Amino acid sequence: MADTLKQLYKGTLGTGSTTLYTVPLATTAIIKEIVLANKTATDVATTITFDGISIIPGKKVPANDSLVIELHSIIPASAIIAGLAGVATSIDVYVSGIEVA
């Protein structure tokens, strides 16, 4: 099995739940870190889910600040990481981890 360190997602969240990453077939992913950066002058609630289960449910990211979440979460092939923010284009997100194939 090959382990590959990867940037799994980088982008900006919208107000509707959007797929950030789907684990490839015949692969397991280990999510190591999620960084949420609020680019606005107002606190913004953010939700991140792993395969429909809330991992970060409505967590407020302070105005003009970042939140770093360190994880060791294992998710199986075809599982989906999704996210949304309370205010469109306010939260940048970066997800990193390891793919094990």
In single-letter form, the type of residue at position 82 comes to A
pTM for this one?
0.94
Domain count, the chain: 1
- CATH number assigned to the domain comprising residue 36: 2.60.120.340
| pLDDT tens sequence across 52-92 | 999 999 999 999 999 999 999 999 999 999 999 999 999 99
- Contacts of 40 by beta carbon, 8 Å cutoff, 6+ apart: 63, 64, 87, 90
**Is pLDDT at 47 greater than 90 in this prediction?**
yes
Helix (H), strand (E), coil (C) string for 31-82: EEEEEEEECCCCCEEEEEEECCEEEEEEEEECCCCEEEEEEEEEECCCCEEE
Bridge-based pairing state of the strands 44-50 and 80-85: antiparallel
Domain assignment of residue 26, given as a range: 3-100
